Amino acid sequence: MEKNYLHADHETPIYQQWESSGAFQPVAHSKNTKAFTIIMPPPNANDPLHIGHAMFVALEDILIRFHRMLGDSTLWLPGTDHAGIETQFLFEKKLKKEDKSRFQFDRETLFQLIWEYVQANSTTAVEQLRRIGASADWSRQTFTLDPKIVKIVLNTFSELYTKNLIYRDYRLVNYCPKCGTAFSDLEVKHVEEKAPLYYMKYGPFTIATVRPETKFRDTALAANPKDPRYKDFISKTLEIPGLLGPITMTVIADEEVDPEFGTGIMKVTPAHDPHDFELGKKYNLPVTPIIDLQGRMDMRWFLEQDHLNPKYRARAEKYHGKKVAQARQLIVEDLKEDGLLSQTDENYTHAVGVCYRCGTVIEPLPLPQFFIKVKPLVEPVLKALKQKETTVIGAGHDKVLKHWLENLRDWNISRQIVWGIRIPVWYSAAKNPDLEITFLDTQKKRISGKLATLLKEYSLSEIQAQLQELQAPISAHFEVSATSPGPDYIQETDTFDTWFSSTQWPFATLQANQPDDFQKFYPTSVMETGYDILPFWVMRMLMMGIFKTGKVPFYTVYLHGLVRDQKGQKMSKSKGNVINPLVIIEKYGADALRLALVIRSSPGLDKSVGESDFKSMRNFTNKIWNAARFIYMDVEKKIDLTATKPGDKAFYVKLHNVVKDITQQLSDFRMGMAAETAYNEFWHWFCDQAIEDAKNANISQKALLDGLITFLKLLHPFTPFVTEAIWQQLQQLDHQEMQRLMGSKKLITTQWPL
């Protein structure tokens, strides 16, 4: 044995041995084996790994190796996610560098290009997981766009639809004009913003608003029925003068209007405000949008009027096509000019919704989209949690989950992107002449228009082949089907929210693999992931899992925290404090990386690590190596392993207690504690005391060897490489009694000490 443990020499060959020996595959079930299953949270297929991935690998691999050694039929099923929006935008960035844009391709071609791009990068993530030491069953590796998975996902959609849990509705959705797609409520971040609150003269009233640009096509005014100031106006229809001429509106009375806010009377803009939209529904008001999907003013309704006053026309032309923020400035100036702005509260702060990924202000825009009715899916989850069919481990996040479930609103699953699973909805061309179509003609020119009009010039098959996107009116006739119902049909161009597929991951991966995997390994044992995706993923997996299988998808949820830097600060590229796990592996070894992340970590709480942590854990791996080396050199001398010494009895009692403690801690999912116990007991008891005692002949060499073998097993889940490397070094010694004590040729598949 070398004097120091040189991780770089051992890690790759050891990993290859493990994998080629089939150690990562579950042993066959028998009467005495229990199943232990973890479905790996799938990293994005084309992304390189970051330190957070190392954290989940470390924690999950500890549990997997522990249970494998316990003799359970242990399956860790890995996979990757197509990560719809993230990937498509990364690809579009790449296109932009090549001076191209997605609008130059029909959707089929674009999808194919992204597919190839992901294929080219997809080995990176998986290779890196191997470097960290993930003992996952790669023979079962699954991708969210594998045909089998897609089939299952489409099937789920159709089942939800049949059971009346999916509906298509025209309503306000969270639309990001920059990303060009709608999002679910969860993807909208609310940030405090200071914005001027404008008090505008509005006929006999004054109203307060931060969004004067939406007022042109207001459909009503609303006041509280108890408000004496407006009592006499209730139900009256008035002509309100405005920047673009008078608007005729009725004053409605509604309890929800707060007399305390602003002036107590509000304008109702159903097309651009969620609250107003609901109010509009209640009072049957029309939805009259004035902002388009690019977040620009759309003044066509005014410009198309033949008798519009030239002053108003000039204004409408001025606003038309301007971004909302810019238009707002122009409008405020014009309000001042007309003497309609009575005052401005510059210190007003309110929460504004922004896109979680690009930070652009989210526009609530009316669009027909597919929604999942969540209530019927949520109730069984709440019940299961109450009955503790699933337990959530992680610093109060169980309460957060409950809060989410109780307040969840219907889930918009339509995304206006190409990279994803296309919604299996079909529109008959004959029945839907009003479909709005955008496609590329033979010259690759973008053509948009109503289907009926386009069909006068182009054939349906031409449109189908070169389709970019379509928008079906809410009244459109459609059929739900995994495959085309016939030549007359055009498929919806929206794709599913990526989470719609990843939410089905626990049962879908098992159903897509070996024929009896689902039956053997479902429900899975543990779902280990970061608390930051609790609502996006864990909550919805519970919902879909129970819906589809009637059982919870996992019994235990273990939530780890964020990895922070040495000072406890969040890692970010801009701060320059990002730790690349591969750099750490090269410098200190995978074992050091894993142990530094796990030791003394607590579920649900963030963990900070720095260079010194990796270094001291590397020192620990060297300590293991050298303790083994000391004993190795004794065994090499063909020592007698039958003699006993007076200190042996106490030694074995202590050793037994250490085994008991670590086993208990791992069984209780206290990996941070278990790692610390292993570290302290090995270094400060076994090395500092026991080995020294053995040097003084107080403890026998057999006891010491027994201790080493036991500790190699106990430490293996935490530091798999160095322990396996030592194990195999010992195996090479020609010593029968030692061979007998060790038993198995490979540590990874040896039996846990009990």
Partner RNA sequence: GGCCGCUUAGCUCAGUUGGUUAGAGCAUUCGAUUUACAUUCGAAGGGUCGGGGGUUCGAAUCCCUCAGCGGCCACCA
Name which of residues 529 to 548 contact RNA (CB under 7 A): 535
What does the angle CA 333 – CA 335 – CA 337 come to, to the nearest 5 degrees?
A: 70
Alpha carbon distance 113, 34 (integer Å): 44
Given the complex with RNA, which of 278 and 441 has the nearer CB atom?
A: 278
* 564 binds RNA, rule: CB under 7 A: yes
Residues in 267-296 at the binding interface with RNA, rule: CB under 7 A: 267, 273-275, 278
Work out whether the CA dihedral 211, 216, 220, 226 comes out positive or negative. positive
Q: CB of residue 77 vs RNA: minimum separation in angstroms? A: 27
φ/ψ of residue 554, rounded to 5:
-155, 150
Candidate residues 169, 239, 379, 688; the one interacting with RNA per rule CB under 7 A: 688
572 contact partners, CB below 8 Å, separation of at least 6: 578
Residues in 74-133 at the binding interface with RNA, rule: CB under 7 A: none
Given the complex with RNA, which of 209 and 511 has the nearer CB atom?
A: 209
Cis peptide before 523 (omega within 30 of 0): yes
Helix (H), strand (E) counts: the chain: 26, 30
* 226 binds RNA, rule: CB under 7 A: no
* 260 binds RNA, rule: CB under 7 A: yes
Alpha carbon distance 539, 679 (integer Å): 35
Side chain identity, residue 182: A
Q: CB of residue 592 vs RNA: minimum separation in angstroms? A: 9
* Contact string 627-656 vs RNA (x = CB under 7 A): x-xx--x-----------------------
* 148 binds RNA, rule: CB under 7 A: no
Helix, strand, or coil (residue 610): coil
* 229 binds RNA, rule: CB under 7 A: no
Given the complex with RNA, which of 496 and 669 has the nearer CB atom?
A: 669
Q: What spatial distance separates the first Cα and last Cα of the chain, rounded to whole Å?
A: 29
Alpha carbon distance 446, 103 (integer Å): 8
- Applying CB under 7 A, which part among 51-59, 457-465, 572-580, 618-626 lies near RNA? 618-626
Alpha carbon distance 594, 674 (integer Å): 13
Given the complex with RNA, which of 94 and 403 has the nearer CB atom?
A: 403
Residues in 197-216 at the binding interface with RNA, rule: CB under 7 A: 207-211
* 612 binds RNA, rule: CB under 7 A: yes
Given the complex with RNA, which of 14 and 405 has the nearer CB atom?
A: 405
Burial of 527 (0-12, 13-18, 19+ CB in 10 A): buried
Given the complex with RNA, which of 343 and 566 has the nearer CB atom?
A: 566
* Contact string 344-383 vs RNA (x = CB under 7 A): ------xx--------------------------------
Q: CB of residue 397 vs RNA: minimum separation in angstroms? A: 6
Residues in 391-410 at the binding interface with RNA, rule: CB under 7 A: 395-397, 399-400, 403, 407
| Both structure tokens of 731 | 């195996």
Given the complex with RNA, which of 470 and 714 has the nearer CB atom?
A: 714
Helix, strand, or coil (residue 315): helix
| Both structure tokens of 698 | 């107080």
Given the complex with RNA, which of 116 and 256 has the nearer CB atom?
A: 256
Residues in 459-498 at the binding interface with RNA, rule: CB under 7 A: none
Q: How many CA atoms lie within 13 A of 111 on its CB side?
A: 18
Q: CB of residue 498 vs RNA: minimum separation in angstroms? A: 17
579 contact partners, CB below 8 Å, separation of at least 6: 51, 563, 565, 571, 609
Nearest Cα neighbor of 117 from 140, 139, 137, 145 is 145
* Contact string 154-193 vs RNA (x = CB under 7 A): -------------------------------xx-xxx-x-
φ/ψ of residue 645, rounded to 5:
-135, 160
Alpha carbon distance 480, 739 (integer Å): 64
Nearest Cα neighbor of 134 from 68, 35, 191 is 68
Given the complex with RNA, which of 260 and 306 has the nearer CB atom?
A: 260
Give yes or no for a contact between 391 and 523, defined as CB atoms under 8 angstroms apart.
Answer: no
Given the complex with RNA, which of 121 and 577 has the nearer CB atom?
A: 577
* 253 binds RNA, rule: CB under 7 A: no
* 608 binds RNA, rule: CB under 7 A: yes
Candidate residues 305, 616, 663, 731; the one interacting with RNA per rule CB under 7 A: 616
Residues in 689-708 at the binding interface with RNA, rule: CB under 7 A: 691-692, 695
**Percent helix / strand / coil, the chain, rounded to 5:** 45, 20, 35
* 618 binds RNA, rule: CB under 7 A: yes
Helix, strand, or coil (residue 325): helix
Q: CB of residue 749 vs RNA: minimum separation in angstroms? A: 27
